[in-house]
Amino acid sequence: MSVWLAASPVLVPLATALATALAYRHARLQRLLSLAGIVAFFGTALTLVATVQGGETLAVAFGSWPAPFGIEFRIDRLGASLVLITALMGLACLVFHESDADPGNRHPLLLPLVHGVLAGVAGAFATADLFNLYVWFEVMLIAALGVFAIGGRRDQLDASFKYLTLNLLGTLLLLIGVGAIYAATGHLNYGALAEAAAGLPPALTTLLLTVLGLAFLVKAGAFPLFAWLPASYHTLPGPILALFAGLLTKVGAYAVLRVVGDVFAPPPAVLLEALGWIAAATMLVGVLGAAYHWDIRRILAFHIISQIGYILLATALAGEAGNAATLFYTLHHIVVKANLFLIGAIVWRLTGSYDLRRIGGLWQARPWLGVLFAIPALSLVGIPPLSGFWAKYLVLFEAIGQGRIVWTVVALLVSVLTLYSMMKIWLEAFWRPHPDAGWTLPRDARLAPAVAATVGLAAITLWIGTQPEALIAYARAAAATMGGAAP
């Protein structure tokens, strides 16, 4: 049965996508199938983590063609935890989508495409084959593109076009990189590549990893290749935006970690040095971009970029501690970031706008929402005792330990600027009175599913914050079995 469990990260969402596509004429049935599918996915992902947390890896060679020739899924602690967080985000966002907080156009193709995105994301986390990784990136891209285009509004088509063009460049670069690596080593399987990598001349390894790394950095939204992200994300419906914001860029960051920190570990030092500076620039540019904007979605979209910088910084620190910090930061950040977008959608429902200059007065009307927003917002900044504090602690402790003072100072500075952004949202949306004196809360808002989803995610943030030992131990165990174990 273990081979089927190993294939489940793709099989379950794919089956759900099919079932919802076949039911596209029956809206209620489609929503039920979608929810049932995501619950099943969450269940199998939990089983997956429970199975691998002892150190066992789950593998399946599709069609019984053995590795290194066939395509293999090989799920270790790193992959399993990311599959679980994917399923969790899918669950939270699809439950949230049952409310009327910015649900967007309920097109019959929306749910099949969203499950298609989930299949692509989970497939990328599960696979142990470089070309197969490319395929899952492509599945993600095509399905996400469908979601972007679905409304057919002018700004949506504009966003889809920018998303398509810039991501296709990344994809092309990725394909070139994969092809070159295959030409150089004759392998695509991670395990076989790790063995073959030792025999490559260092200059060639540097070149190959540069091409591959650049492609992943486009996908991750790193400086200076992030232009597609703020250009497109704000046209999505709230819960879908939260799902994309939480997951998609993190697949790029994961791919960097997998390649630099596992398969080709230890990589040439010059690459880690470059990655570190890219990370610092990403952090800084992202947070400065956010300071300029007044639309909640745009502010948060720039913070995705800024936070990707922290994740890449952890990867650049390399070694067991760096890899563990990368995983911890990624898991914490996905939950927090998605939750902020979801709460933003609730704010939109209650006040009628995402523009901070046109809203306000929520602290008077809905104080619990102010508290709910403060949990992920302060966690994003890194205030103890929330999850973000431990994530930043792990990264910065390692950065100081390696004598990387400039990167540490940048990271701390960016934290302060992040606090400024979050305070801006809090002051404008919650504290300040509503600019329209006649404004009242909408009476017919159906927010119960939205509140359930956001409170659940906030509870996870609080749990990680107060009980970080379990997750830190898991991340360290995951890093211990990765290739970067001996720096």
Site string for other proteins, 354-383 (x = CB under 8 A): ------------------------------
Q: Is 114 in the site for other proteins (CB under 8 A)?
A: no
Element holding 192 (H helix, E strand): helix 190-197
Which range, of 54-62, 93-101, 291-299, 440-448, touches other proteins by CB under 8 A? 54-62
Taking the C-alpha atoms of residue 157 and residue 162, their distance in angstroms, rounded to an integer, is 9
24 or 393, CB closer to other proteins?
24
Residue among 162, 297, 160 nearest 242 (CA):
297
Q: How far is the CB of 137 from other proteins (least distance, A)?
A: 19
Q: Which amino acid is at 251?
A: V
Q: Is 21 in the site for other proteins (CB under 8 A)?
A: yes
Q: How far is the CB of 112 from other proteins (least distance, A)?
A: 8
Q: Is 40 in the site for other proteins (CB under 8 A)?
A: no
Q: Is 14 in the site for other proteins (CB under 8 A)?
A: yes
Q: Is 131 in the site for other proteins (CB under 8 A)?
A: no
64 or 440, CB closer to other proteins?
64
Q: Is 35 in the site for other proteins (CB under 8 A)?
A: no
CB-hemisphere CA count at 13 Å for 219? 31
Binder among 60, 80, 121, 301 for other proteins (CB under 8 A): 60
54 or 63, CB closer to other proteins?
63
Long-range contacts, stretch 159-167, CB < 8 angstroms, 24+ apart: 159/231, 159/232, 159/233, 159/234, 159/235, 160/232, 162/227, 162/228, 162/231, 162/232, 163/228, 163/231, 163/232, 165/228, 166/218, 166/225, 166/227, 166/228, 166/231, 167/141, 167/218, 167/219, 167/228
Q: Is 118 in the site for other proteins (CB under 8 A)?
A: no
Look up residue 176 and give its two tokens. 């070139």
Site string for other proteins, 64-103 (x = CB under 8 A): x---------------------------------------
Residue among 255, 300, 222, 226 nearest 121 (CA):
255
21 or 281, CB closer to other proteins?
21
Max CA separation in the chain (angstroms): 72
60 or 317, CB closer to other proteins?
60
**Positions in the binding site for other proteins (CB under 8 A):** 3-4, 7, 11, 14-15, 18, 21-22, 24, 60-64, 109, 112
